[in-house]
Amino acid sequence: MTRVSSVFHQPRLTTLKVLARYLAPYRRQLILAFLALTCAAVTILLMGVILRHLVDKGFSHQNPHLMNRAMILLTLCSFILAGAAFVRTFTTSWLSERVAADLRQDLFDHVLSFDQTYLESAKVGELMARLDTDMMLIRSVISVSAAVTLRSLIQLSGAIALLFITSPKLTGFAFVVIPLSLTPLIFMGRRVRTLTRQGQETQGALSAFAHEILLSLKSVQAFCQEKAVSQKYHTLTRDYLGNAHLRTRARSLTISLIIAIIFSSMALILWIGARDVFQGHMSFGDLSAFIFYTAVAAGSLNSLSEVGGEITAASSAMERILDIRNVIPIIQDKKSISSELMSAPFRIEFKNLTFSYPSRPKTPALENISFTIESGQTYAIVGPSGAGKSTLFQILQRFYDPQEGAVELNGRDIRTLPLKTLRKTIAIVPQDPYIFNASLWDNIAFSNPKASPDEIRKAAQLSYVEEFASYLPQGFDTILGERGIRLSGGQKQRLAIARAILYKAPFLLLDEATNALDAKSEYHVQSALDESFKNCTRLVIAHRLSTVLNADKILVLDQGKIVEQGTHTELLALGGLYAHLAEHQFVMSHQEENIKK
C-alpha cells in the first residue's frame, strides 16, 4: 500500500495541510473522483437545457420527433449520472479508507513513542476515541461530505451562470436570496463548531471512564461500588446528551432557516417569472429552465448547509488528532552509535542521580544515587515501600530521565544511546506483568516473535509455564482473556519469566519476580533463573530478603537514598535498617511456622 511519509514528527501543521499531505499520494484517484463529480454536475445542468427545448419546441409545436429525441437525451443523461455516481462513490470510498488507514497508522506509531510523563495524565479511553471515533468522522467527510460539497459547488456555479443567461432580471432576485441563505451559516457555524468540539471531548471522557471501569470491574464489585459507578456514568452520559441536544438544535435551526429562506424566495421568483411569461417578456421554456436551475442551486445550497455540520465535526476531530500529533515526547531517541561502544562486557554506573516525578516535582523519588553494577554479578535492592526501588528500574530503561546526574552504560550516558539499543540489552520480569488477550504461546513469544518453537517451549519449561499449561482447556493455544484473567498471579509471573528467558538480554531486572509464587515454585523458578541467566548481570528488587541472601551486593534504599550497601553478612553486622528488616521478616516467618505446626 502506498503511504505518505509520516507528518507526526514535522513542524506544526494546519488541518488542511495535514489532509493535503495524506491525499497527495492518491492524485490519480482524486482526479478521477473530480472528473466524475464534474461529469455528474454538468449532466444535471444539461438536463435544464434539454428541458427548455422540450417545452418551447416540443410541447409548443407539438413536435413528436423532438420530444422523442429529448426523452432519449434525458435517458442518456440518467445513465451518465448513474455511471458517474458509481465512479465517484467507489473512488471516494476507497480513498477515504486508505487516507484514514494511513492517518490512523501514523497516529498509532506516534502514540507508541509517548513517554511515561505524558501517559501519567493521559486517558487511554480518550486516545482510543481519537483513533476510532474521530477517524470515522474524517473518513466520512472524505468519502461523502467532501464529494457532496464539491459537487454542490460545481452545480451551484453552473446554475448561477445559466440563470444569468436565461433571465438576468430573475437572477438578480436570486442573488438577494443567496446572501440571505448564507447568513445562518456564518452566524451559527462558529456555535456549531464549538459545541461539536465540546461533544467530542465529553464523548472521549465517557469512553475513557467506561474503559477504566471495565478493566477494574473486579475491584468495583468487590467494594460494592456498582451504584456509585453507574451514577457517575449516568452523569457523564447526561453531559454528553446535553451537549448533543444543544448541538442538534443549533444545526437543525441553521438548516431550517436556510430551507425557509430558499423555498420562500423560490416561490417569489416563480411568481415574478410567471408574470413575465404572461406579459411576453420570456418564454415558458425559459421559465421552466430557470425554475430547474433555481432548484439545482437551492438544492446545492441545502446540501452545503447539511454537510457543513459534518465538515465542522470532522474539522474538530482533526484538531483533536493534531493535539496528539503535536505532543513531542520528552524521551528523545538517538539514531546511531558506534558498535564498539556496546560490546561486552557491560558495565552500568549510576552517577549522582537525582529524580522527581513530573507530578511531584518538589519531592525527590531518588536523591544523589551513586553505585556501579559490574558485569556478571547479582545486585539486590531492598527497602521499605516507596523507597525508590522501582524508580531505579524505570530510569535504567529510560522511561524517565533524571533531573540531575546520569546513568552510564560502558561509560556512555544512556541518554545518548538509541532506545532500542539500550532496551535490547535489558530483560525485565515486572511485579505485575501485562498479559495480552491472546494465546499462552503468543504471550510467551511476545518478547521475541522470531524465536523458534523449540526455543519458546524451552523457555516455558525453564519457567515452569509448561506445568500449568497442561491444565488449560487448549493448552498453549488457550486464549488468556483481557489482562490474563484466566491466570493466577503466580502463573502470570512464570509467564513473564518465560518472556525474559526468551528475550536473551545480558541484563536481567527482577522486580519482585517471585512474590506471587509458593515456596516450592519459587525454588524451582529461582533454579531456572540461575541456570538461564548464569552469565547475565542481575538487578533484583525484593521484599523477601530470603531471595537475595547470595547477592554479590545488596543496596538498601530509604526515602530515595542509599543508606547501606554490602553483602548479607556485612549488612547484618551493621545493625541498621537491613538488619531490622531481616529480623522482622525472620521473626514473622518463625511465627508462621509455629502457627502451621
Residues whose CB falls within 8 Å of the CB of residue 264, separated by 6 or more in sequence, listed in order: none
Domain 337-420+539-597: homologous superfamily in CATH: P-loop containing nucleotide triphosphate hydrolases (3.40.50.300)
The rounded distance, in Å, linking the Cα atoms of 174 and 273 is 12
Classified as helix, coil or strand, 490 is: helix
Backbone torsion region of residue 504, taken as left when φ is above 0, otherwise alpha when ψ lies between -120 and 50, otherwise beta: left
Backbone angles phi, psi at 268, to 5 degrees: -65, -45
Grid cell for residue 594: 509455629
Q: Count of alpha carbons within 13 Å of 190, Cβ hemisphere only?
A: 3
Residues whose CB falls within 8 Å of the CB of residue 102, separated by 6 or more in sequence, listed in order: 3, 4, 22
For the CA atoms of 188, 191, 193, 199, the dihedral, rounded to the nearest 10 degrees, stands at: -130
Please give the pLDDT value at position 5. 42
Report CA-CA distances (Å) from 70 to 46, 48, 181.
Answer: 11, 11, 34
Backbone angles phi, psi at 507, to 5 degrees: -110, 140
The rounded distance, in Å, linking the Cα atoms of 188 and 251 is 8
Contacts by 17-22 with C-beta closer than 8 Å and gap 24+? 18/318, 18/322, 18/325, 19/99, 19/138, 19/318, 22/99, 22/102, 22/103
Architecture of domain 15-325: Up-down Bundle (1.20)
Please give the pLDDT value at position 11. 39
59 in Cβ contact with 136 (< 8 Å): no
The rounded distance, in Å, linking the Cα atoms of 569 and 587 is 18
The rounded distance, in Å, linking the Cα atoms of 46 and 162 is 10
The rounded distance, in Å, linking the Cα atoms of 65 and 290 is 24
Please give the pLDDT value at position 203. 75
Question: How, if at all, do strands 378-382 and 553-558 pair?
Answer: parallel
Domain locations in the chain?
15-325, 337-420+539-597
Grid cell for residue 381: 535492592
Residues whose CB falls within 8 Å of the CB of residue 134, separated by 6 or more in sequence, listed in order: 200, 317, 318, 320, 321
482 in Cβ contact with 436 (< 8 Å): no
Q: Which amino acid is at 26?
A: Y
The rounded distance, in Å, linking the Cα atoms of 439 and 479 is 4
Backbone angles phi, psi at 446, to 5 degrees: -55, -35
Cα end-to-end span (Å), the chain? 69
Nearest to 41, CA basis, from 139, 182, 156: 156
The rounded distance, in Å, linking the Cα atoms of 510 and 142 is 50
The rounded distance, in Å, linking the Cα atoms of 132 and 123 is 15
The rounded distance, in Å, linking the Cα atoms of 441 and 480 is 10
346 in Cβ contact with 506 (< 8 Å): yes
The rounded distance, in Å, linking the Cα atoms of 312 and 201 is 15
Give every residue of the chain whose pLDDT is below 50, as ranges.
1-13, 338-341, 588-597
128 in Cβ contact with 211 (< 8 Å): yes
Please give the pLDDT value at position 504. 83
pLDDT tens per residue across span 258-299:
777 767 777 777 777 777 777 777 777 777 777 777 777 777
The rounded distance, in Å, linking the Cα atoms of 416 and 334 is 6
pLDDT tens per residue across span 198-219:
777 787 777 777 767 766 665 6
In DSSP terms, 380 is beta-bridged to 540, 554
Q: Is 198 exposed, middle or buried (0-12, 13-18, 19+ CB in 10 A)?
A: middle
CB crowding 375-396: b at 16 or more within 10 Å, else e: eeebbbbbbeeebbbbbbbebb
